[in-house]
Amino acid sequence: MLDPAGPLPATLRELQAGQEDLFGALGDWDSEVGGFEHLPQIVVVGNHYSGKSSVLQAISGIRFPSEDGLGTQVAIQLSLRRAIFPAIHVSREKDGVFYDEPELSKTSDFTDDDIVTITKRARQNMACRTGEHTVFDEVLHVQISGPKIYPLTLVDLPGFSRHPATKDELAIVDKLADRYMANPSSIILAVMSARFSIAPRNVLERARKHDPQWQRTLGILNKVNYVEGDVLQLGKNTDPAYTLGLGWHVLRLHTGNEAGLTDNERHAREESIFQFSKAWRDFPTTSRGVKALRQRLSETLYERVQKKLPEHIQRLRTHLNKRMAELQELGPERTTPQDLRQYLTKAAKDFERLANDAINGHYVDAFFVTPGSSAAISGADGMHTRPLRAVVHDLNSVFYETMMNKGHSRDIYSCEPVEEGPHPSVKDLLHRYATSDPSHVEPDAIRRSIGERAKVKEVTTSSQSVYEALVIEEFDLQSSKWKSIAVRHIKVVLEIAKSFVANLLIHNFAKDRQSYHNVMAQVVEPFFETRRLALKAKLEELTRQRRFGRRHILEPLSREHIEPASSQGYVCSDDLLNQMLAYYDESIATFINNIVILAIENCLVSELPSILDPSAVGRMEDIKIARLVTEQPDIREVREHLESEIALLRNSLNVCERHLPMTPLSRKIPSDDVHVCRD
């Protein structure tokens, strides 16, 4: 009986005798991460009434259904797999689509008749769905899982018939046989009855179709109580047309009245018949009987697994490196206040270093050259923010072009726009700087306006004061859009800087998302709020300087114009307009530089590395550090799972390497690519 909760039956252990550690290692790997779908599988094929299911039952010790008078009607793929919890999972496959059969699956109360019962009930269900058929165009998948089970797959297929009931039945049987026999991982057991005078060679021809070199076909002669015709020549593997690489094997399967015998008793009776049989008594003991067949299959399975070991080992190493990298991303275990302080200090040092690299334009670290993860934040309008100095430079260029082209409220004299074309990285941000175009005003209209205002002011004010007042008025009107453009620029740079910081913290904290969110909420958000207020104050200061620091700047510009104007007793509109424009050109350059240097650089960019300052972490109280980076239970669970899986993978890798074929070329696969994490 195969009990998923218990040890492997002796019959199945014989199929893996001497290699339990290897198959156990493969089973552990398969149960943890899967991926050994290319392990060899035993596929039993033959004609109706050849005893296929009985052969499969004899070598495995698992009871397979025997449909009285009908033969196998449902293809059965029985998969044994290692798992923590015992279970029998049943599904059916049709045209590559799998359908679970929960009412046939079970997790307890296992019996010796489970496979028989499951198959009969599945056949009844199929008949109800599709109508009565002799053979069903579906595959019944039965997976038996348990903590002490080794990976193995057994396949029982419907038998070939010389006189199928319908053409559909013939097509179904052929399709199923071709599918499993064509699989290079299949060991084909071609079962034939010895009682026919002419051996049913159609089975062998089908095997040859998929195994032309006879490398994975083992011939089985069943029912050797009756020996007729050329069967002996086949059994001795001397038939030149069917000399199989795996050879032939003869069996005398038990009859119905021997059902109560133990495996050893059946083996003794079978051996007794061989010894007293004139046809088979001189046949090699290694090629007759069920026990010898299990041994041959064990050797064949082992040899084929060995051939695949280099490929499996490479996959094991790849997965081991991946898991160790994931464990490293979690950082060291944090159980004490000192652990937490060291963890945050390291994160702060990494942050400070990379933030300084970013603002200095040193893009050497992997953070800058490796594409961000799917969880990374791209910044405003999808911009990639990691090369921060380059991005800020491009934004400053857009700010400059916007100021020079649209910073003036009026186009007085036509001039070519200052436009080098935006950098591709900031094209998507141009709409953030959208502002109205300057309105075109004729110079004569401005002169008339200046003249009218001058007449009103000259009644009570000296010409010099009038002149200065009008220059300032015109300048204020001409520069009225500067502040709104600067506000937009500061807002965009703030967003980009915040996005950069978020990406950098995601990079540093890797999978520790809770610490990332804590630092963002408790450290980054307050920092940017403080910077926002500082930038607002700095902008007000620079705007105020533009408005109240102008008289000193105007003096050297206006003296040569004011004196002749005063002596003549009137204000010259042309001179005043030209002086305002000259002052505008000088002031806009100063304003742009002040915004870029005194605001953006001094108040924001240069302060970014201080967000997470290692020295500040050293001064933090334990309780504050705990609020920031205490390890969450889910992180501990992930770490424990990764450590367990890494230990399993290392053990599987060591076992597989011990079983590598000992040849000069493949004695040992170099393992330099496995990077072992050490605490």
Which of 629, 654, 670 delimits the end of a domain? 629
Contact between residue 60 and residue 15 where contact means Cβ atoms under 8 Å apart:
yes
Instruction: Say whether both 587 and 671 belong to one domain.
Output: no
Percent over 90 (pLDDT), the chain: 31
In a domain, 267, yes or no: no
- pLDDT-based confidence at 566, cuts 50/70/90? very low
Q: Is the pLDDT of residue 177 over 50?
A: yes
The pLDDT, as a whole number, for residue 635 is 82
pLDDT digits (tens, 9 = 90+) for 595-645: 999 999 999 999 999 999 999 999 999 999 999 999 888 888 888 889 988
In a domain, 75, yes or no: no
In a domain, 109, yes or no: no
Local structure of 140: helix, strand or coil: strand
Mean pLDDT in residue range 71-82: 84
Average pLDDT, the chain: 81
Instruction: Say whether both 342 and 327 belong to one domain.
Output: no
Q: Is the pLDDT of residue 381 over 80?
A: no
Which of 607, 629, 651 delimits the end of a domain? 629
The pLDDT, as a whole number, for residue 377 is 54
Beta bridge partners of 410: 439
The first and second tokens of residue 19, run together, are: 């290699």
pLDDT digits (tens, 9 = 90+) for 452-508: 776 666 545 555 576 677 778 878 888 889 999 999 999 999 999 999 999 999 998
Which of 608, 629, 650 delimits the end of a domain? 629
CB count in 10 Å sphere of residue 74: 23
* Nearest-angstrom CA–CA distance, 239 and 248: 11
Total count of domains within the chain: 2
**Phi and psi torsions of 534, nearest 5°:** -65, -40
- pLDDT-based confidence at 416, cuts 50/70/90? low
Write the CA distances from 640 to 45, 337, 477, 629, integer angstroms: 46, 20, 68, 18
In a domain, 564, yes or no: yes
**Is the model more confident about 250 or about 453?**
250
In a domain, 149, yes or no: no
In a domain, 163, yes or no: no
Instruction: Say whether both 585 and 472 belong to one domain.
Output: yes
pLDDT digits (tens, 9 = 90+) for 84-119: 888 889 999 988 899 898 888 887 777 777 888 888
Contact between residue 586 and residue 513 where contact means Cβ atoms under 8 Å apart:
no
Q: Is the pLDDT of residue 433 over 80?
A: yes
Q: Is the pLDDT of residue 164 over 80?
A: no
Instruction: Say whether both 405 and 454 belong to one domain.
Output: yes
The first and second tokens of residue 35, run together, are: 């991926």
In a domain, 430, yes or no: yes
CB count in 10 Å sphere of residue 656: 24
Q: Ranked by mean pLDDT, which of 121-135, 311-325, 374-388 comes out on top?
A: 311-325
Which residue has tokens 């393992």?
671
- pLDDT-based confidence at 376, cuts 50/70/90? very low
Instruction: Say whether both 643 and 622 belong to one domain.
Output: no
Q: Is the pLDDT of residue 565 over 50?
A: no
Instruction: Say whether both 463 and 590 belong to one domain.
Output: yes
Mean pLDDT in residue range 530-547: 89
Instruction: Say whether both 599 and 669 belong to one domain.
Output: no
Length of the chain: 679
* Nearest-angstrom CA–CA distance, 161 and 53: 16
Instruction: Say whether both 462 and 500 belong to one domain.
Output: yes
The pLDDT, as a whole number, for residue 458 is 57
Q: Is the pLDDT of residue 569 over 50?
A: no
**Interhelix angle 20-33/633-658, nearest 10 degrees:** 150
* Nearest-angstrom CA–CA distance, 30 and 79: 12
The pLDDT, as a whole number, for residue 187 is 95
* Nearest-angstrom CA–CA distance, 639 and 140: 38
Least-confidence region, from 88-92, 166-170, 369-373: 369-373
Question: DSSP string covering 579-607, please?
Answer: HHHHHHHHHHHHHHHHIIIIIIIHHTGGG
Instruction: Say whether both 586 and 672 belong to one domain.
Output: no
**Is the model more confident about 149 or about 131?**
149
Contact between residue 561 and residue 470 where contact means Cβ atoms under 8 Å apart:
no
Instruction: Say whether both 672 and 620 belong to one domain.
Output: no
* Nearest-angstrom CA–CA distance, 137 and 157: 11
Considering only CA atoms, give the Rg of the chain. Answer: 43
pLDDT digits (tens, 9 = 90+) for 18-75: 777 888 787 777 666 555 556 789 999 998 878 888 888 888 888 877 655 555 788 9
**Is the model more confident about 316 or about 114?**
316
Instruction: Say whether both 543 and 679 belong to one domain.
Output: no
Q: Is the pLDDT of residue 676 over 50?
A: no
Q: Is the pTM higher than 0.85?
A: no
Domain region containing 654: 8-38+295-333+638-679
In a domain, 135, yes or no: no
Instruction: Say whether both 434 and 401 belong to one domain.
Output: yes
